């Protein structure tokens, strides 16, 4: 019995030790729970603006500021189970569409009288014969058609318990006009399907990307202007800056890490001192230099300022200092030149930090706004960020739903780059955090 007790005491410690470590275990548990709670709240704070941006991108301009968070397009998904309703679609002039913008005190669209009107009955809509039983259509969506069409497409929903609208195929929509008169407009019955609702939710994206022009004019004409051109400009500038910038940063870092030359420490200190200079201070000198060199309104003006980064040189240099000199000496003994040692020995060994630098550089360049604003003034040279900030129609108004659709699409390249480089990126940013 005594031996068993000693065996238990030897493996599990005394009761006094357990009582001593119990408060520390509880404190560690509370600390872990607080850490998880903090990270969860931080993640929510980060993700909520993105979710809000996506939700706004699925709203029509008339839904902005109506006090409802969920887009009406998502609400109408529940209406698919109601088989006693019909959807009507027509194109209106801006003046006719203004009659549908009015709402009641609850921000709900005002109903509009509508009647079945077979297309073969008459090409001209006659005066309305309305009564208390006249069906009233409620507006579901208003969207501007792509230029050069100066029309507004409207989608309405009307009760159709007897199937009159479905059999007729067309309907007469009666809108108030000037001096109290009523104007008849022909509308077409459209199918109530999931595809129709999905196209309604993605209407802002279709308007932003001008998909009608893509189908009519072809890819090469479509990509020459508007948001597609801005997107391609940003991709070209960001990728060019990442490839060339990582090369020049790592080349300079290799020199500072593995070579001895006069004033090495002084030059490196001067390089680090440039990090403390705010980049807006360099805008005016950069503008005059590039203008005199003939780079204004060219891709060189967008790419050259980001070719070398003091932070990138510092980051890569710190990692390259950990590469053993024996590896470099072995390459030189085998007859390799300095550039060949850099290319075949140092770069493969520095892959994690180069991946982290590539992600940082891509995000910085993709979100760059001030340099493109100062160094370009043509619409064809705009990047995504600059284009979204200056997006407005001929009257100077901004469609915030379309703008949020553009901002949502602008997030995709950053997510793709991070997912592709995630493994190397995480190992790169944790360099030196654990001592062996």
Q: Which residue has the higher pLDDT, 169 or 396?
A: 169
Q: Specify the pLDDT at position 123.
A: 45
Helix, coil or strand: residue 182: strand
Among residues 186, 67, 51, the alpha carbon closest in space to that of 116 is found at 186
Query: Do the Cβ atoms of 58 and 153 come closer than 8 Å?
Result: no
pLDDT digits (tens, 9 = 90+) for 44-102: 787 888 888 888 888 877 677 767 777 877 776 666 666 677 888 888 877 777 766 65
- Return the minimum-mean-pLDDT range out of 44-53, 135-144, 267-276, 282-291: 135-144
- CATH code: domain 226-429 is 1.10.3720.10
Alpha-carbon span 187 to 87, nearest angstrom: 10
Compute the average pLDDT of residues 314-329. Answer: 91
Alpha-carbon span 265 to 12, nearest angstrom: 56
Confidence class of residue 202 from pLDDT cuts 50, 70 and 90? confident
**Is the per-residue pLDDT at 1 higher than 50?**
no
Q: List, in sequence order, every residue forming a beta bridge with 152; answer none if it has no partner.
A: 92, 144
Confidence class of residue 384 from pLDDT cuts 50, 70 and 90? very high
**Is the per-residue pLDDT at 431 higher than 50?**
yes
- CA atoms within a 13 Å half-sphere pointing along the CA-CB vector of 26: 6
Place of tokens 């379309």: 402
Q: Specify the pLDDT at position 106.
A: 45
**Is the per-residue pLDDT at 175 higher than 90?**
no
Compute the average pLDDT of residues 212-233. Answer: 88
DSSP of 341-404:
HIIIIIHHHTHHHHHHHHHHHHHHHHT--HHHHHH---GGG--HHHHHHT---TTS---HHHHH
User: End-to-end distance of the chain based on CA atoms, in angstroms?
Assistant: 45
Confidence class of residue 410 from pLDDT cuts 50, 70 and 90? very high
Compute the average pLDDT of residues 290-297. Answer: 91
**What Rg value do the Cα atoms of the chain yield, rounded?**
32
Query: Do the Cβ atoms of 411 and 234 come closer than 8 Å?
Result: no
**Is the per-residue pLDDT at 418 higher than 60?**
yes
Alpha-carbon span 361 to 343, nearest angstrom: 21
Confidence class of residue 149 from pLDDT cuts 50, 70 and 90? low
Compute the average pLDDT of residues 128-156. Answer: 68
Among residues 24, 58, 1, the alpha carbon closest in space to that of 403 is found at 58
Confidence class of residue 8 from pLDDT cuts 50, 70 and 90? very low
Q: Kindly report the average pLDDT of the chain as a whole number.
A: 80
Q: Specify the pLDDT at position 80.
A: 64
Q: Specify the pLDDT at position 109.
A: 61
Q: Specify the pLDDT at position 247.
A: 96
**Is the per-residue pLDDT at 299 higher than 80?**
yes
């Amino acid at each position: 019995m005594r031996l068993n007790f000693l065996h238990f005491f030897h493996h599990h410690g005394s009761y006094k030790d357990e009582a001593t470590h119990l408060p520390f275990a509880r404190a560690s548990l509370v600390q872990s729970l607080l850490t998880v709670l903090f990270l969860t709240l931080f993640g929510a704070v980060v993700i909520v603006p993105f979710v809000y941006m996506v939700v706004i991108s699925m709203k029509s301009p008339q839904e902005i500021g109506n006090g409802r968070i969920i887009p009406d397009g998502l609400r109408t998904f529940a209406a698919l189970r109601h088989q006693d309703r019909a959807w009507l679609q027509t194109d209106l002039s801006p003046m006719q569409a203004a009659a549908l913008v009015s709402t009641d005190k609850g921000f709900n669209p005002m109903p509009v009288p509508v009647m079945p009107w077979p297309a073969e009955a008459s090409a001209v809509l006659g005066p309305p014969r309305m009564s208390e039983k006249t069906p009233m259509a409620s507006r579901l969506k208003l969207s501007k058609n792509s230029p050069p069409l100066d029309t507004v497409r409207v989608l309405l929903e009307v009760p159709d318990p007897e199937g009159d609208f479905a059999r007729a195929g067309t309907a007469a929509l009666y809108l108030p006009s000037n001096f109290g008169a009523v104007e008849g407009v022909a509308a077409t019955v459209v199918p109530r399907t999931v595809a129709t609702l999905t196209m309604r939710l993605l209407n802002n994206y279709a308007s932003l990307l001008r998909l009608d022009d893509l189908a009519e004019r072809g890819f090469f004409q479509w990509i020459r202007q508007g948001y597609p051109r801005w997107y391609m400009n940003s991709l070209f500038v960001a990728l060019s800056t990442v490839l060339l910038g990582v090369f020049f940063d790592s080349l300079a870092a290799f020199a500072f890490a593995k070579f001895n030359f006069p004033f090495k420490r002084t030059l490196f200190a001067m390089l680090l001192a440039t990090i403390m200079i705010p980049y807006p201070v360099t805008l005016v000198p950069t503008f005059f230099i590039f203008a005199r060199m003939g780079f204004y309104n060219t891709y060189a003006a967008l790419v050259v300022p980001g070719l070398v980064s003091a932070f990138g040189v510092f980051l890569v240099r710190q990692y390259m200092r950990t590469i053993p000199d024996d590896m470099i000496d072995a390459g030189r003994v085998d007859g390799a030149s300095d550039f060949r040692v850099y290319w075949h020995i140092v770069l493969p060994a520095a892959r994690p930090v180069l991946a982290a630098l590539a992600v940082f550089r891509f995000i910085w360049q993709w979100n760059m706004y001030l340099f493109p604003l100062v160094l370009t003034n043509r619409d064809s040279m705009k990047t995504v960020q600059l284009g979204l900030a200056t997006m407005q129609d001929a009257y100077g108004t901004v469609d915030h739903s379309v703008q949020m659709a553009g901002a949502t699409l602008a997030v995709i390249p950053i997510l793709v780059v991070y997912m592709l480089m995630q493994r190397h990126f995480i190992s790169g940013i944790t360099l030196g955090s654990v001592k062996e």
